[in-house]
Amino acid sequence: MPRLGPIKRTELVSYLQTLGFEGPYSGGKHQFMVKGTIRLRLPNPHHIDVGRELLSRILKQAGINKSIWERL
């Protein structure tokens, strides 16, 4: 189960795909993932983890609450 904390970008993409998101697709400056009418912009692939605050914002935009995230 992933915790709500720093996570690698590749793991974030994998978990979002498990939750039904498609992509990542190339966008302007950022890649994005899509599920229905929801379009999530992904952080650029640097060599650092996605922090807790950014992960919380991404999950909020995706409509994923903490309990669902931690059950993966």
- Does residue 1 carry a pLDDT above 90? no
2 domain-assigned:
no
pTM, entire model = 0.90
48 domain-assigned:
yes
- φ, ψ at 35 (rounded to 5°): -145, 105
32 domain-assigned:
yes
| pLDDT band for position 61 (cuts 50, 70, 90) | very high
4 domain-assigned:
no
Segment 4-52, tens digit of pLDDT: 889 999 999 999 999 999 999 998 899 999 999 999 999 998 888 999 9
Domains of the chain: total: 1
Q: Domain range spanning residue 49?
A: 9-71
SS3 of 26, please?
A: coil
1 domain-assigned:
no
3 domain-assigned:
no
Segment 7-17, tens digit of pLDDT: 999 999 999 99
Q: Write the CATH number for 20.
A: 3.30.920.30
